[in-house]
Structure formats: C-alpha cells, structure tokens
Amino acid sequence: MPAPILATKLYVPPPRTEVVPRPCLIRHLNEGLRRKLTLISAPAGFGKSTLLSEWLAGCEWPAAWLSLDKGDNDPTRFLAYLVAVLQTIETGMGAGAQSLLQSPQPLPTESLLTALLNEISTVQEDFVLVLDDYHVIEAGAVDEALAFLIDHRPPQMHLVIATREDPQLPLARLRARGQLAELRAADLRFTPNEAAMFLNEVMGLGLSVEEVGALEYRTEGWIAGLQLAALSMQGRRDTTGFVQAFTGSHRFVLDYLVEEVLQRQPDRVRTFLLQTSILDRLSGPLCDAVTGLEDGSRTLEALERGNLFVVPLDDERRWYRYHHLFAEALYVRLMSEQPDQAPTLHRRASEWYEHNGLPSEAIRHALAAGDFGRAAALIELSARATLMGRQEETFMGWLRALPDEEVHRRPVLGVYYALALVSHDLETGEARLRDAERLLDGTAHANEVVVVDEEEFRALPGIAAITRAYHAGALGDVSGSVRHARRALDLLPEDEPLWRGAAASLLGLAHWADGDLEAAYRFIADGMESLRMAGDATQSLSGAFILADIRTAQGRLREAERIYERALKLAEDHDENAPPGLADLYVGMAEVRLERGDLEAASRCLQKSGELGERGGISENRYRWYVAKSRIERARGDLDAALDLLDEAQRVYVRSPDPETRPISALKTRVWIRQGRLDEASDWARERGLSDRDDLAYLREFEHITLVRVLIARYKNERKEHLVRNATELLDRLLEAAEKGRRTGSVVEILVLKALASQAGDDVPDALACLARALALAEPEGYIRTFVDEGVPMARLLTEAANRGIAPVYTEKLLAAFDSVPRRGEGESHPSLAEPLSGRELEVLRLIARGLSNREISERLFLAVITVKGHNRNIFRKLGVRRRTEAVARARELGLL
C-alpha cells in the first residue's frame, strides 16, 4: 500500500548542497519575521521555493510547509491539510479543529479557523508556516479564510506565501500598516555575479564572462531559464553558438529548451516523462500503472539524481513531483505528440487511485479522461461519505464537471446534489430535486435510469422527502415541512437511524414554528435518540441546544439549564476534542445565565464558546453568538456596541428550517427604542406590515410584542391616548395566545409590558396587578433581566410593589440588580447625560476636538468614513447639539475633554 496522499502535502524541501548564496534575500526574510506576512510573488521559475528552502535550513524557527494544488480550492480540504501540516510543528496542534472538520454538519470557515487559532496561541515557540504555490487557489472562500487567519494571527506564527501572482488578500492594508514583507521578481532575479556562480560553479559549464552576460541579459535573471539553458549546454562544444541562438520570450525559450532536454534523454526516459506528466504527484507504483512498466521507483530515483526537475515530497523518497514549469511543458509536448494517449493515461491513473482507496483522485482523473460514466459511478459511491465529511464544494464541483445528462439519469447523484445545494441555494436545489424525483416516481424509462449503489438507492425516496422537508421549512412552509418529514419517516427503513433522526428533527422544527412547543420537544428528542444510535454525537449536541431553546420559550429556565449541563458533561466525557455543536451549548448557557442576572458568568460562557472556535456552532445558529453578546453589551449600557453586534448577526444569519422566533430586525428595533430613535422604530413596524389589529401567529409573536414597545414609547412622547389603548388591546390578545400555547416565557414579558402600559396611562393598581402575576411566574425560574432591562419605570413599579408587600424577597432581589451592573463609559462620561457616550464615541470626540476631519479620524482609528459619520451623529444626539463646534463646547462644559 503506498503512502497516504496526505503525506505528499507535508513537505519541507530539503536544503540543497549546491545553491547560490543569497545573503541579502536571506536577511530580508529574517527581517520579515517581525511582520504578519511575507509575500514572495514572482512568475514561475524565479527560485521562490529554493530560496525558502535555503532560508529555512538556517532559520532558528521550526517551519511547516504546505504545497498547494488545485484540489485545495475546496475550503474543507484546504483547512484539513492546513491542520495536518501544522501538526508537524507540534503533535496535536489543531486537533480540535481537525475534529470539527470531520463533522457531518457544515461549520462556518471562520468558526473552524477561530478554533485553530486558539490552539495555535497555546504553542510555546515561534514558528514559520509556508504556503507554496498559492496561485493555484481561485476560490474566494479560501482567500477569505486566509485573510481571517492573517488578521487574527497569533504572535508566535509567521506566515509566508509563495505564489506566481498576487493573492486576493488585503495587501494594501497590510502594506500601509507595515505588516507586510515582500520579495518580487526584480528581487529574485539572478544578478550577473549570481548567474556566473550558478552557471560555472553549480552547473560546471566554464562559460566566459561574455557568455554569462549574454545569458543573464537574455533570460533577465530568470533562474529556470538559466537552469534549462545549462542543462542543454552540458556536453556541448559550441557553447558560444548556443548562447548566440538563445533568444526569445520565456514561452519560446521554454519550448526550445524542453525540446533540447527531451531529445537528449533515452527514449525510455523520454516516454516516461511524457506519460507521467498527467500526474500531479508521482510514486513508483502509480507510475508503473500509468506507463505499463515496472521500473517507476528506479526511474524516479535516477531523475532526482540527474537533477531533472524532480522534487521529492517526503523523506522516504516515495512521492515526488515535477517542477511545475517542467511538468507543464511536458504535458504540452504530450498533447502535441500523442493527444490520443492522454485519456488512456488518465484512465489508468484513475483505476490505480480507486484500487488504493483514494476516490477523490480517482474521480479527478476519470473526469480528465473524459470517461464521464466512470467518473459518475465513482462519485455515486463516494456521495454519502463526501457530504457527511462536509466537502460539499468538492462534491458539487465534480457534478458540475459532468455533462448534465449524466447527472440527470442517476437518481442517487440527483438527490444528493439537491441535498448539497438546498442549504446554499434553495431554488437550484429544488430544481435538481425535481429532476431526481422524476427518476424515482416511475415516469422515466427504465433504460434512462442508472444506479450503481443499490443500497443508497433504496433509501433515496426517504432522503428526497427529507430534502423536501428542509426546503419547505426554510421557506416558512410549515405544513409542507410536516407533510414531507412524515412521508420520510414512512419511507425510511428502521435500520436508517441517521436519516430517520433527521426526519424526526425536521418534524419537530416544523411544530416549533407552528407554536406547538411540546410536540416540537417530543419529536426533536426522538430524533436525537435516533442520531445517537447512528453515532452522530454532533447532531445530539445540536439537538440539546434546540431542546433547551424550547424549554426557555416555555419559561422553564431551570430545565433548560439542566439540559445544557447534561449535554456539556456528555461532550466532555466522551470526546477529548471539542465536537461541533459544543460552542452552541455555551451560547445557550450564556443566555440563561444572562437572564438570571449573572453577566460575568454569561460573558465567561461566550468567551468559552469563542475559544472553542465555533462562534455559535453550526451555520444556522452562528448568529446567536452575536445576539447573546449584543444583549450583554446592552445590559452594560453600550447600546452602539449592541447594535454593531446585531448588524454582524444579520450578516451571518443563514435561512434554515430552524424557526426565526426572535428576528434580528426586531432586536435592533428594541435597541432603537432604548436610544430614543422612535422614527426608525416606527419605520420598522411599517416595513414589516405590523398592526395592532393583525391576526396572531407564533412566528410573529416577538415582532408584535416589539410593536407594543413602539406604541408605548410613542405614547410617552406624544401622549396620544389611542397609542396606549391599541398597545393594551394587542397585549390582551397576545397574552391569551401565549397562555393557550403554554409559552410562559412570552407570558412573563407580555405581563411586564401590560404593567408598563398601565403605568404609562397612570393606572397604578392595574399595573401592580399585572406585575404581581408576572412576578409569580418568574420567581421560581429566577428571571432577572426581563425586569431590569425595562429601566427606571420598572424600578419604580417594583419599589411600589415592595412597599405593598408583593413578592417582597423577589422584588428586593430585582431592585438590587438595577445597581449591580457597571455602565460602560459612565466613568468617563457625565451623569447629566441621559445616555452616556461609549468608549469609541469618546475617542472620536477627542479627535474632533483636535480638529481632525472625518477621513483623518477614519484612518487614525481604522474605521470606514461612514462609520465615523455614524459615531458623529450619535455624539451630537447624546450631547444635544448639531455641529462639531457645539459638540466640543458642550463636552468641555461637561468635563469630557
């Protein structure tokens, strides 16, 4: 059995015994260690890898080297190799991220990188990470991942990128901040002295000064060109004639030199070079399979000894690759001389990879051979494992490379294609599913249908129904989601616990969206048990998060907390690495701890979630980390930070069957109300089409409660009686619906608002009666923030309740909580301000006082100009001014400057 293909990626080029010393470049690389990134960007053949090899051989820091290829455009594969290569620095580094990558649930790339960065930050010594051949990366997702890695780089890691073209990274910003070291083609080209040393001392040619000068001039210091020229001149007597004939652009020079090199090889070696040029990586057995000979290992060793552009990829010399430029030239020559042979060679490579358990490479070569039937069969056999391994981009890339008719006649491929697409592109996923269902419902001719994996085919109707249920749920079609999920359970055999668990969970989510929380809890719990039987611990953790969410909606905070605690203990007992979904549990625990008034414990839970690297876990719930963090900032009084976090939550939110019971836009509206921005709050209500006369539905309950808040706030400003009357009538209807649905969490909030509405209308007895009911429901579960977040009006009501002996112990605890939270910025702001300036606003205000323009402030604080203008508006509003000069004068009056 050959070495695993992964071993070919973990490559640090061995130091060459004969290289041209380049002390200036080595010094430049050493100086670059103080920066975030070193970029070596130059065309092929300028000695980038050789220079790095020489530098690392003398560098005190250990190094990890990752050679990239086109397959690494899949983000999951890129991250898998990144983690693997880092483990050559320290065993176990990135083990947690590695575990996340193997999860069947898709995780956001930033979450995986955060987990990896947290683990890197624990490494004790400095090290270098080299990404070689980065020019093969075309995927924006990989560029974004690398940009995130650079922005959040731990200080002990220095990144080096070698590439033929500039990557799509924020190079200008890094350059402006002094965080980028660069080497370009002009730096790497050989000087005349270096060219002479290379040609005469390393290659042993004994050329004259004039001949060296001519070659250096004509190649412009291009190292590969000089090397190819030197190989062509070895054994020649008329070196002067060769040098004089050596002209033309790089492409023509390369064509000429490769022809010269190839013509000087024995026929057997020449044939070997051409036939194996189809391979990205070479091993003896693989080359034997492709060429039909039995001397692959010996030939590779001889090519390496002869310095014939063969690079070893491991210490055992089991895997090699050709110099990229040489490989490209060989392949061009093969296609010129023997174009009909290439498909056969690719097919042989595909068969070897298949028999050696490397399906991805087998599929790639089958596609290159144009053998689409073989490729489709291999993809079908790998479909479940590829998708469960979260390599959706790889899977969809394979299918896009097939002719449509090949996919359309294979129902297994069609359904799995739809399953992969539906979480990214609902419309396209549904279209693919329709095509596949046509093959399943018997309307297609038998000779049109091709099935390779019979076992997978038998489960296909149920998997298709699950995909339908997901699609309907994501569109908000609750009845459709229920119908398809029930059909999936009817169709799936009992020995398919993975898919049965998924169907039951989708059914539970549909009931949740419909407001039947108890039925939702029951179905999701059953689904989690099926997934546990299937060995899917990740989904079990995600299910615990949902179950606790439901209990929270039911007002059962203590039970929700117990669910989180049990799941956390289970995760810690059964997996030494952090499984996907674990960070979700810490987010949920943070929300419970926050509601119960323990801000510090809530903050610690969110910090733990961040350290685990998921920022909210699976992609559907990622936004919740930002929502929870926003509520903490709101509790601390930093409303601008709370809004920024909600903006980020909105950016990362992904539509899914999980019911959106607390829309982010409504959460933002609640912050606007606290800021006194009632025009924006009213605009939100109009845009959402909300009215106090609407028919009520569970999925709009949170929005209608938010509408009540808008009406009460407007009444306090405008004193129009119909506003508080409309609010009260809507609250009565909301209360009836919430009580009927046994959603005690909503009932408590609605009663609190009824108390505040009555207080605003000067009906204190009714206000206290509503408050007493709310307190009676809330006290056993330990609610705190639901009351404290209402501010001074609630404090006054609670004081009156305490005076009248209403829940005296609980009201005393709640009143104490009003004073227990430090308000961020108040230490520097002024007590006469109704809303204190945040720390960032104070920074902007001080720069305004120094006379800086908005653009100058944006550059100083690394903010967008539009963000600075937003801070200006907030400062003016809080200070009660309209102009910069007035703001500065007012701030000085208050002692802020």
pLDDT digits (tens, 9 = 90+) for 841-890: 888 888 898 888 888 888 777 677 888 888 898 899 888 888 888 888 77
pLDDT band at 202 (very low <50, low <70, confident <90, very high): confident
Return the structure tokens found at 771.
């408050």
Rounded CA gap, 659 and 404, in Å? 35
In this prediction, residue 7 carries a pLDDT of 36
Question: How many residues comprise the chain?
Answer: 897
In the CATH hierarchy, which fold is given to the domain comprising 265-339? Answer: Arc Repressor Mutant, subunit A (1.10.10)
Lowest-pLDDT range of 15-19, 588-592, 713-717, 726-730: 15-19
pLDDT in tens, 347-381: 999 999 999 999 999 999 999 999 999 999 999 99
Q: How many helices (H) and strands (E) does the chain have?
A: 48, 7
Q: CB of 839 within 8 A of CB of 825? A: yes
**pTM of the shown model:** 0.65
Region 283-311: mean pLDDT is 87
Report the range of poorest mean pLDDT among 152-161, 210-219, 394-403: 210-219
Binning the chain into helix, strand and coil, the percentages to the nearest 5 are: 65, 5, 30
Residue 520's pLDDT is 94
CB 36 within 8 A of CB 174: yes
The larger pLDDT score, comparing residue 567 to residue 570, is at 567
Fold equal for 265-339 and 827-893: yes
Yes or no: say if 628 and 828 are a contact pair by the CB < 8 Å rule. no
Nearest Cα to Cα of residue 698 among 550, 590, 504: 550
Distance CA 596, CA 785 (A): 7
Distance from C-alpha of 761 to C-alpha of 293, rounded to nearest angstrom? 94
Of the candidates 97, 123, 73, 89, the residue with the CA atom closest to the CA atom of residue 12:
89
Is residue 575 predicted with pLDDT exceeding 60?
no
How is the chain split into domains, by residue range?
Answer: 7-185, 192-252, 265-339, 559-656, 827-893
Q: Say if residues 365 and 346 touch (Cβ distance below 8 Å).
A: yes
* Neighbour count for residue 130 (Cβ, 10 Å): 26
Q: Given this structure, which CATH class describes domain 559-656?
A: mainly alpha
Q: Does domain 827-893 have CATH number 1.10.10.10?
A: yes
pLDDT at 576 over 60: no
Residue 719: per-residue pLDDT? 85
Q: How far is CA 448 from CA 438, 442, 451, 560, in A?
A: 11, 11, 10, 52
Q: What rounded mean pLDDT belongs to the chain?
A: 85
pLDDT attached to residue 2 = 31
% of residues, the chain, pLDDT over 70: 89
Domain 7-185, second-level architecture: 3-Layer(aba) Sandwich (3.40)
Residue 523, judged by CB atoms within 10 A of its CB (0-12, 13-18, 19+), counts as: buried
More confident residue, 611 or 357: 357
Under a CB-based contact definition with an 8 Å cutoff, are residues 373 and 403 in contact? Answer: no
With vertex at residue 655, the alpha carbon angle to CA 651 and CA 660, rounded to the nearest 5 degrees, is 95
**Residue 39 phi, psi (nearest 5):** -110, 125
